[in-house]
Structure 1
């Protein structure tokens, strides 16, 4: 067996084992018992040009069995019919006219929170939707069981409709793993923050932390808000949203997908614990090494090397599929050629580093954001 093939096999096997330690599990909310009586809930939805995406969320809110809530859609300088659509679903529309530095999602959320009547606040991204009619009951019941303190945040389950959307698979895995709390050590590392699309907290803790007003300049508001709560010794709990909340990321096209992930990864890796980051790097490297071992063994025509490398490649494909399907309904067949997903992730990550450290800016929804 050529030495290069043996080295690739060893690194690939080590990375495969590290992968299981890196992403041990993704807990989701269980159904809670007891009566569905909770404090008045204010649902705050920041929305900028979301006319094509916000209707499923508003419809899912209308279908909830639990009804003691208000819906505040904060129109963040939209130029489409976002506000009109929100009103059709009975939501209260607040206009966020801030033009100063810091306007955007955080300013919109802060504006919504200031106008909220509820004792509990639920911040939802406009591209999310509740999975069924009991989702709110399950979410609020889980928060109450955890003492109704700090933040309970969920990463929605990613629903894929068009083929190019599968390119988000590895990004979804890394975003979740990068929160530090889904390894075999669970709570050994502090969470990197909170998941942004679905954040539930009580109003007293929110204003005590400074809320979104404290993080008005942050590119990744979700991580920054979670840290603001942690700075006040308030708990931040992160879980998977499977069975409770879904979302569809970047349905507008590949360009939007690139801009969105570029924004997220330009600064997001700074919050991941070095040990977790090392495991992520090794796991991604192993993905390339397992593919390289298979290609090298085919070229060398060595039966033993070919058998071992084929086994490793298949194991890596299976593990990558397992991790991705925890995050969304990604195409199973695509993982037979999973190195393409790793190559796209690596290329876009390098591009995000270029934008962050050379251009010092990223683009999102028509805005240039300094980083």
Structure 2
């Protein structure tokens, strides 16, 4: 029996959900898992090739309606994220940033012209997007960003730097958030605009199979129609982050599941003291406890997905899901590594790769500490981080 079978997860899913999940799993098993260790070791990934394949698969912006997007349920999108991250967190990050950050920003806050220009190509994987919010000194406090856009006649001129931007160096379009005299505004920035550059960040120990970049904007001149017209203020980028965090709630469980299934298989094959490692009480206790936490996280994720589909999901509930599932996922990855011993530190097995990736997943899209304080504020009425 596999860990999630204890929880009869398939009984909670529709036939369409299962079909989408299985299609993405088949792609990850065939295309990603045989290659991802090499991508991770070399810190390179064929992002454009993968984007086109993921577009053909229909997962880019899959939870959005129209403009070439599939319009699936939140549950189906979550399950796709889970299967992608069972391959690697970097792959799920590519899809999350494309669909839930860059595409969602244009879909939710953009003009009809912006939607028509970018969304069909992004859904097909023919154009890659990135999302420029975080700055080196302003991660958990994006309201303090220093990137600024000023009016110059009918144009806008952008100056500033963004940091830790997934897809940045391979993107065709960047959604960049900047301070203006009117408040924080979003801009659709073609990456071939003069003054825009995106140097890749090297020497990472986590998310190595992912493109991470700095965005540099030096007097980037944009026409008036480049601004996202439907939102002013921090609510714009935060609405996008809420979409991405939802995918992480499921995605982190994919990494945890892959670790757990790997550890169980290894423990059954590894003999020690004349019997399988899986036959020892301590090993079984580890496996039982990890399976319990994985299943509880899955039930939480599915419940939040049902709320999202019903239109009643609160952003604080998303914080609850991300806090729990990333925290439990990294604990599972670390515990599974102990079952494999020295073998667990090699790229022959996915455990250390997943654990290293989850170090980033734990803190991006809101650190665990910030999500704790979001939940604490909801429960006590006091904003402890202000």
TM-score, scaled relative to structure 1: 0.31
Q: Which has the higher contact order (CA 8 A, sep 6+)?
A: 1
TM-score, scaled relative to structure 2: 0.30
The answer to which structure has the higher helix fraction is: 2
